[in-house]
Amino acid sequence: MAIRVFEGAAEKPDVQVEVGMVGNYQKIEFSGQLIYGQTEKAKQIILDNIREAKGYFFDVRNLSSIDSTGLGMLVTIARRLKNTDSRIAVIVEEGMMKEIFTMAKFHLIFSMVSSEAEGVRLFEGGSRPNLTLDEY
Amino acid sequence: MRGVLVRISHLMSIRQGVRMRLLLVDESWIKLRSLETMLRKAGYHDLLFAQNPSSVCELLKLDEQAQVAARIDLIILDYTLPHMNGIEMCRRIRSHACYREIPIIMMTGMRNESVLQEAFEAGVTDFVRKPVRKVEFLARVRAALRLQENINKHYKAREKLEKMVSEHEYQLALAKKVQMSVLNEPIEQEQIAIQARYVPSEHLSGDMYCWYEIGNGCYGIMLIDVVGHGVSASLVSMSVRALLRGLITRVTDPVHVMQELNRHMLHIFKDNDISIYFTALYVVIDVQARKIEYVNAGHPPGIVRGSKGEMRYLSTGCLPIGLLPDIQVEKEVFSYEGETLIAMFSDGLANGNTVLAPDSIASFMIQRSKAGQSLDCWLNEIMQTHATEEAKDDICLIGIHLR
């Protein structure tokens, strides 16, 4: 069952984060806007709720926008997981959000998949992203 | 002596720590002495006395043009005064901007509700019934002074805050001047012209640009955009800026420039708990060989419009700078012919629509750029069409005209 862990202040465009499990993998699902002013508290609560898992999904399909601060937060979380020998994939659909990740060249450090099932296949199939977590 | 300040005591009570100054107004000298005795026994020693409205006006400087307040913390006013009653006196006091908040206690023997209502409407804070009874009188004085003490604290805190804000604004304005002072002057040469537009979303910007003539007709042009906004982002951008002149003029290959910057960022911010990085677009133009090479580090693509209207997006490169060690950096090299325009911009343009901005600017460059149009006009038009007045992010736009 997913746990809602954070809702931003009502007066700001808010981000919401839900943490849940997909088999042996933990999924962190974002919605709203992951932008400057919204990331710090979200990051802390995510780190507090991270469990040991074989891999992690950052699901950004419901994000309406993300900026460089939001992208940086994903890397910060990834760095915290670097010693766990786990894998990380970003679940993102074709469209603007994927273009932002690609423009920022984050596809070089995160595997990009379009669904949980594709992510699980990727993790269990043994293929690796361009850089592993150990390289963060 | 009637109507004159007769006594001011600056003695402070240690017993109650009382430093409050009270003004007692009553036409009867005997009653004033009676109140004085009660107050002094209760520890209130800083007392002023007045026996008529003109003395009150004189003491409180009500007739002076300058808005200077006498230091008074509480006014105790009898309803019955010569020439005007206590309510009119109260209105007169409240009409002065400096005394809108000061507590005023009115002493009256009247029981008429409409008079009390009129007094409250005139600005009286509280009443003491006559004949004055010591316990009630002192309780009301204490309550009024507590109120005034809180008001004083509030004003002092506000004054302190305003001073801090003012100092902060001054420092930010100074810092902005420093940041603006390092921006390059435009270049206007026979074969190349370079100009920029720079609009911080706050006082300080995380965007930064620079350009240098490297030598032999080569120019290096760098645009960086540090993650975040404001002071922290500007500190990072200024620390990077300090390196750029040496780096760009000494290391000509854009690949090595980016790798060196990456090492620098990771070295400086290695122990940081947050991701501090920047995106960048670095372009090297050789106007003799008519060759352009560049690296894009996670930045919105630069756009090139060739002499025949052909468009090229400058996207090849590497991860943003400062994220990971030993990044793989790829550069692209190409030639140009005839009049060529290049736009480099940060993602604050088009109101931060990172994805749409490049296409929108490319489309603008195809449709609106006219032969012979000055670089200045061209940049102004892009800013007019793509930069909103209330930008949420820093905006930086560089225009390069190759001839």
Contacts of B300 in chain A (CB under 8 A): 103
Contact A68 B301 (CB under 8 A): no
pLDDT at B16 over 50: no
Q: Please give the single-letter amino acid code of residue B379.
A: L
Q: Please give the single-letter amino acid code of residue B205.
A: S
Which domains, ranges and CATH numbers included, belong to chain B?
22-159 (3.40.50.2300), 182-402 (3.60.40.10)
Contact A103 B300 (CB under 8 A): yes
Chain B, window 46-105: residues with a beta carbon less than 8 angstroms from a chain A beta carbon: none
User: What CA–CA distance (Å, rounded) separates B64 from B68?
Assistant: 8
* B11 or B116: which leads in pLDDT: B116
Interchain CB contact of A94 with B (< 8 Å): no
Pairs across A and B, CB distance < 8 A: 60
Determine the topology of domain A7-16+24-54+66-115 in CATH: Transcription Regulator spoIIAA (3.30.750)
Residue of B nearest to A78 (CA): B275
* Residue from B319, B245, B306 nearest B280 by CA: B319
Interchain CB contact of B276 with A (< 8 Å): yes
Q: What pLDDT digit, counting tens, does each position of B199-242 carry?
A: 887 778 888 999 999 988 999 999 999 988 888 889 999 999 99
Residue of A nearest to B298 (CA): A104
Interchain CB contact of B232 with A (< 8 Å): no
Contacts of A75 in chain B (CB under 8 A): 275, 277, 323
Contact A108 B277 (CB under 8 A): no
Instruction: State how beta strands A25-34 and A15-22 pair.
Output: antiparallel
pLDDT level of residue B13 (50, 70, 90 thresholds) = very low
Question: What is the nearest CA distance from B52 to chain A, expressed in angstroms?
Answer: 55
Report the complex ipTM: 0.81
Interchain CB contact of B357 with A (< 8 Å): no
Interchain CB contact of B271 with A (< 8 Å): no
- Cβ–Cβ under 8 Å, residues B50 and B1: no
Q: What pLDDT digit, counting tens, does each position of B271-318 carry?
A: 767 788 999 999 999 999 999 999 999 999 999 999 888 899 999 999
Contact B324 A73 (CB under 8 A): no
Q: What is the DSSP letter of A51?
A: -
pLDDT at B371 over 80: no
For residue B54, what are its two tokens? 């003109």
Contact A72 B301 (CB under 8 A): no
Interchain CB contact of B297 with A (< 8 Å): yes
Q: What pLDDT digit, counting tens, does each position of B230-274 carry?
A: 888 899 999 999 999 999 998 889 999 999 999 999 888 877 677
Provide, rounded to the nearest whole percent, the portion of chain B with pLDDT above 90.
Answer: 59
* Residue from B90, B120, B321 nearest A104 by CA: B321
Predicted pLDDT of residue B301: 93
pLDDT level of residue B391 (50, 70, 90 thresholds) = low
* Residue from B261, B225, B390, B328 nearest A68 by CA: B225
Contact B317 A69 (CB under 8 A): no
Predicted pLDDT of residue B185: 94
Q: Which of A67, A76, A105 minimises the CB distance to B319?
A: A105
Q: The whole model's pTM is what?
A: 0.76
Interchain CB contact of B268 with A (< 8 Å): no
Interchain CB contact of A75 with B (< 8 Å): yes
How deeply is B105 buried, as exposed, middle or buried, from its count of CB atoms within 10 A (0-12, 13-18, 19+)? buried
Q: Rounded mean pLDDT of B341-366?
A: 78
Interchain CB contact of B317 with A (< 8 Å): yes
Predicted pLDDT of residue A11: 41
Q: What is the mean pLDDT of chain B?
A: 87
Interchain CB contact of A99 with B (< 8 Å): yes
Question: What is the nearest CA distance from A76 to chain B, expressed in angstroms?
Answer: 6
Interchain CB contact of B329 with A (< 8 Å): no
Three-state SS string across chain B, please?
CCCCCCCCCCCCECCCCECCCEEEECCCHHHHHHHHHHHHHCCCCCEEEECCHHHHHHHHCCCCCCCCCCCCCEEEEECCCCCCCHHHHHHHHHCCHHHCCCCEEEEECCCCHHHHHHHHHHCCCEEEECCCCHHHHHHHHHHHHHHHHHHHHHHHHHHHHHHHHHHHHHHHHHHHHHHHHCCCCCEECCCEEEEEEEECCCCCCCEEEEEEEEECCEEEEEEEEECCCHHHHHHHHHHHHHHHHHHHHHCCCHHHHHHHHHHHHHHHCCCCCCCCCEEEEEEEEECCCCEEEEEEECCCCEEEECCCCCEEEECCEECCECCCCCCCCCCEEEECCCCEEEEEECCCHHHHCCCHHHHHHHHHHHHCCCCCCCHHHHHHHHHHHHCCCCCCCCEEEEEEEEC
**CA dist list (Å): B228 to A71, B84, B134, B232, B235:** 11, 64, 64, 8, 11
For residue B138, the Cα-to-chain-centroid distance in whole angstroms is 45
Interchain CB contact of A102 with B (< 8 Å): no
Contact B354 A73 (CB under 8 A): no
Contacts of B301 in chain A (CB under 8 A): 103
pLDDT level of residue B3 (50, 70, 90 thresholds) = very low
User: What CA–CA distance (Å, rounded) separates B363 from B339?
Assistant: 18
Interchain CB contact of B225 with A (< 8 Å): yes
pLDDT at B337 over 50: yes
Cis before B254? omega within 30 = no
| Sequential pLDDT tens for chain A (136 residues) | 334 444 444 444 588 899 988 888 999 999 988 888 888 878 888 888 888 888 899 999 999 888 888 998 998 888 887 655 678 899 999 888 999 999 999 988 889 999 999 999 988 886 555 454 445 4
Give helix then strand counts, H and E, for chain A: 4, 6
Q: Which of A72, A96, A99 minimises the CB distance to B275?
A: A72
Q: What pLDDT digit, counting tens, does each position of B160-189 carry?
A: 999 999 999 999 999 988 988 999 999 999
Q: Please give the single-letter amino acid code of residue B153.
A: K
